[in-house]
């Protein structure tokens, strides 16, 4: 388990048709694109997958499809979190986890629980989950930060908690977690722009958005860092800086879906309240991606 989620994970987009339904042909092309690009594992139904806008039936269909197309070639992580702990726990009883290697569970948004509340939330999830749990801390989206103390308390005391996706952007907090974690606990970056300093501190890789579009290049960056070749990692990072900036200029996943359309993988349709990126950003992305 300690190596299963080391390296490059990708938070898959959910492609849609122009009519608004799930584009399974595009999703199949995306999975093959990622595996061919050398990513280490797939993350389904996270923020990048627009999971809040999918019906329960669509979520199930998307997960089943990815598991089928993947056919055991890469580990699969399922996004399963929220701000209603009991609803998350009930979800375990209505879901077949065949082909799922772990869940990625985001810290509760909107409620703004105390650190004790966050700890008890994840403790309950980990005790009920039939697969290992990867914590997800992303304060810009949730409105509250899970401190290093809370993360380390979970890492040391709750056996089924195996990793954290850290997207706080706080390298001091990330460094404290890496320094004081148990030996097998993984600290995964949730920020494409910070993966090099994150891994220089001893982090274990990334769950990437940019990797949807450029899996080969991003995997190369991460592999360089895992090998301790930070000169090589920096060179790839500098080469990707402009595209990373553009992909997030008008939010996620609008930017990366635009890139995937440019690459011919799937369309750039999103579901409200999200909208496509502007023509100006699209044209800039087109130019930068083609220059790569």
Q: How confident is residue 37, by pLDDT bands cut at 50, 70 and 90?
A: very high
| 2 pLDDT higher than 70 | no
Measured CA to CA, the distance from residue 140 to residue 12 in angstroms comes to 20
Q: How confident is residue 54, by pLDDT bands cut at 50, 70 and 90?
A: very high
Percent of the chain residues past pLDDT 70, beyond the cut: 99
112 assigned to active site: no
What CATH code is assigned to 7-237?
Answer: 3.20.20.70
Query: Cβ of 228: how many Cβ atoms within 10 Å?
Result: 11
What one-character-per-residue DSSP string does 192-251 give?
A: GGGHHHHHHTT--EEEESGGGT-HHHHHHHHHHHHTT-HHHHHHHHHHHHHHHHHHTTT-
**C-alpha distances in angstroms, 174 versus 169, 186, 191, 215, 282?**
8, 11, 12, 24, 33
Q: Which of 81, 93, 91, 87 is nearest to 122 (CA)?
A: 81
Q: Per mean pLDDT, which range of 12-26, 27-41, 84-98, 199-213 is the poorest?
A: 84-98
| 258 pLDDT higher than 80 | yes
Measured CA to CA, the distance from residue 13 to residue 43 in angstroms comes to 9
| 1 pLDDT higher than 60 | no
State pLDDT tens for residues 140-172. 999 999 999 999 999 999 999 999 999 999 999
136 assigned to active site: yes
CB 9 within 8 A of CB 41: yes
Q: Which of 170, 117, 118 is nearest to 140 (CA)?
A: 170
Structure tokens at 25: 């042909």
The pLDDT assigned to 3 comes to 82
Q: Is the pTM of this model over 0.85?
A: yes
> Which of 59, 165, 261, 284 is the catalytic position?
165
> Which of 136, 220, 257, 282 is the catalytic position?
136
Q: What's the rounded mean pLDDT across residues 207-215?
A: 98
State pLDDT tens for residues 72-120. 999 999 999 999 999 999 999 888 899 999 999 999 999 999 999 999 9
Q: Which of 112, 175, 174, 176 is nearest to 139 (CA)?
A: 112
């Amino acid at each position: 388990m300690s190596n299963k989620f080391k390296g490059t994970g990708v938070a898959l987009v959910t492609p849609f048709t122009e009519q608004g339904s799930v584009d399974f042909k595009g999703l199949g092309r995306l999975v093959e694109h990622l595996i061919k690009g050398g990513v280490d594992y797939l993350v389904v139904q996270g923020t990048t997958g627009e999971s809040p806008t999918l019906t329960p039936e669509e979520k199930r269909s998307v997960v089943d499809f990815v598991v089928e197309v993947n056919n055991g070639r890469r580990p699969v992580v399922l996004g399963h979190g929220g701000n209603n702990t009991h609803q998350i726990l009930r979800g375990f009883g209505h879901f077949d986890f065949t082909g799922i290697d772990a869940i990625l569970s985001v810290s509760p948004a909107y409620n703004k629980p105390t650190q004790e509340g966050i700890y008890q939330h994840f403790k309950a999830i980990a005790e009920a989950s039939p697969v290992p749990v990867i914590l997800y801390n992303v304060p810009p989206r949730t409105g509250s930060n899970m401190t290093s103390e809370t993360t380390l308390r979970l890492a040391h005391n709750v056996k089924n908690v195996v990793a954290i996706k850290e997207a706080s952007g706080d390298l001091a907090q990330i460094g404290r977690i890496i320094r004081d974690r148990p030996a097998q606990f993984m600290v995964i970056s949730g920020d494409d722009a910070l993966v090099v300093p994150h891994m220089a501190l001893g982090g274990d890789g990334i769950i990437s958005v940019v990797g949807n579009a450029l899996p080969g290049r991003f995997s190369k960056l991460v592999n360089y860092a895992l090998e301790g070749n930070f000169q090589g990692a920096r060179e790839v990072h500098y080469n990707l800086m402009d595209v990373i900036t553009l992909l997030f200029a008008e939010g996620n996943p609008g930017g990366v879906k635009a890139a995937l359309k440019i690459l011919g993988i799937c369309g750039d349709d999103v579901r409200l309240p999200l909208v496509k990126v502007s023509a100006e950003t699209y044209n800039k992305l087109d130019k930068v991606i083609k220059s790569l």
